[in-house]
Amino acid sequence: MRNIVLFMWAILITCLVACAANQPKPDNDSIRERAQTAYGELDKSTNSSNKTNSSPNHEFSNSSFSSDVSTPVLMVLPAISGNSSSAISVVSKNPFAKTTMESANEYLTEKGYEILSLEGNEELNQLIEIQSDISENEEDMSYLASLALGADIYIKFSGAIREDMVSVELSAYETSTARLLGSKTGMVKNHTHNEENHRYLIQTAVKKALSGLEGTIRSNWEKDRKQGVPYKVIMRIGERFSEQSLENLQDNSISILRSKFSSIKVNRLTDKTMDFVLYANPAEYPDAYAVYANIRESLSNLAIASKNNITSKLIIMDLN
């Protein structure tokens, strides 16, 4: 009996093995293909999820550097008073001043700023001619030059080479208002009396000062742009206006222009001039000439307005 049971188990096992052997073997290529397809679908799903999650930050990053903000046009000048020829003379004859200006311009150019320079500028004669129009008492050449040549912000520099220290002080100003934005000083130890090494130390001091000042320039520029683009406007008043009509002309002019532009800050009113800073929406007024054209049209019932001199930051006009 026992032998019969063992025999029946042997037949059953043999049948099971045979059945397993007859089953079709899985196709490895098909398995691999299906796996790759599955992984592909998984990647698509993951990437889609990542894009959805990251897109707000990406768009915010782009909007932070939109054309509405842009970057200011800069000008670097020695901190002196006097006419344009003296400024050029200082830079050309003073190795410290020349190295300082060149180092600052190089640093700022590498950062992507547009730089204006007095050297070789064809508008210097124009600058001298309009100096008295800008202000009879104004002798700050940096301010006058940046206005006449169209810089948004100007940087005045000074400094010295001492036995133990090389220092460079930089001060940034908004051009139209001459408002101080900030100052930084770069200082490095002076370990040598070699002129070439002095050049390197000056360059290092300039970069140290600018690395701190640039952030101040940027933040002020972006904040000011929300208020509008500033333009310095000087209106020269003709002699035909009597004392009473002059009062009316000034009051009405300022009132009309305040309704047309973002903001107006009056600097000075005399019997000969109106001096103010006007803030214009760049979407409505893309440049100084557009601002001038609107002023001319807006005041047409009060006086005959004509342009005297227009740069990208300065509008000088006559009212008759």
Q: How far apart are CA 62 and CA 81, in angstroms?
A: 42
Shared domain for 266 and 138, answered yes or no, is no
Which residues lie closer than 8 Å to 87 by C-beta, 6 or more apart? 77, 78, 80, 118, 141, 142, 145
Q: How far apart are CA 101 and CA 107, in angstroms?
A: 10
* Structure confidence by residue, pLDDT tens digits, 271-301: 889 999 999 999 999 999 999 999 999 999 9
Find the CATH number of the domain harbouring 239. Answer: 3.30.70
Shared domain for 152 and 209, answered yes or no, is yes
Sheet of strand 314-319: strand arrangement: 263-269, 273-280, 229-237, 314-319, 305-310
Shared domain for 114 and 209, answered yes or no, is yes
Query: What residues make up the domain containing 309?
Result: 228-319
Residue where one domain finishes, among candidates 161, 193, 226: 226
Shared domain for 185 and 241, answered yes or no, is no
Q: Are 74 and 181 in contact (CB under 8 A)?
A: no
pLDDT of residue 110: 95
pLDDT of residue 17: 43
What single-letter amino acid sits at 81? S
Shared domain for 267 and 124, answered yes or no, is no
pLDDT of residue 125: 57
Q: Is 20 within the bounds of a domain?
A: no
Lowest pLDDT segment from 55-69, 114-128, 134-148: 55-69
pLDDT of residue 93: 87
Residue where one domain finishes, among candidates 195, 226, 257: 226
Which residues lie closer than 8 Å to 55 by C-beta, 6 or more apart? none
Q: Is 35 within the bounds of a domain?
A: no
Find the CATH number of the domain harbouring 111. Answer: 3.30.160
Shared domain for 79 and 176, answered yes or no, is yes
Shared domain for 121 and 161, answered yes or no, is yes
Shared domain for 274 and 260, answered yes or no, is yes
Q: Is 54 within the bounds of a domain?
A: no
Shared domain for 237 and 222, answered yes or no, is no
| Number of residues that this document lists for the chain | 320
Shared domain for 167 and 270, answered yes or no, is no
Q: Is 40 within the bounds of a domain?
A: no
Q: Is 132 within the bounds of a domain?
A: yes
Residue 275: burial class (beta carbons within 10 Å; 0-12, 13-18, 19+): middle
The percentage of residues in the chain with a pLDDT greater than 70, rounded to a whole number, is: 70
Q: Are 90 and 80 in contact (CB under 8 A)?
A: yes
pLDDT of residue 163: 84
Enumerate the β-bridge partners of residue 81.
Answer: 140
Output the CA angle 229-235-241, nearest 5 degrees.
150
Does pLDDT of 39 surpass 50? no
* Structure confidence by residue, pLDDT tens digits, 180-203: 999 999 999 997 777 778 889 999
Other CB atoms within a 10 A radius of the CB of residue 244 amount to: 8
Number of domains in the chain: 2
Does pLDDT of 25 surpass 90? no
* Structure confidence by residue, pLDDT tens digits, 55-106: 333 232 333 333 345 789 999 999 876 555 567 778 888 999 999 999 999 9
Mean pLDDT for the stretch of residues 41-56: 39
Does pLDDT of 311 surpass 50? yes
Q: Is 267 within the bounds of a domain?
A: yes
Mean pLDDT for the stretch of residues 208-234: 93
Residue where one domain finishes, among candidates 226, 259, 293: 226
Shared domain for 143 and 250, answered yes or no, is no
Q: Is 183 within the bounds of a domain?
A: yes
Does pLDDT of 208 surpass 90? yes
Shared domain for 280 and 210, answered yes or no, is no
Residue 11: burial class (beta carbons within 10 Å; 0-12, 13-18, 19+): exposed
Q: Is 302 within the bounds of a domain?
A: yes
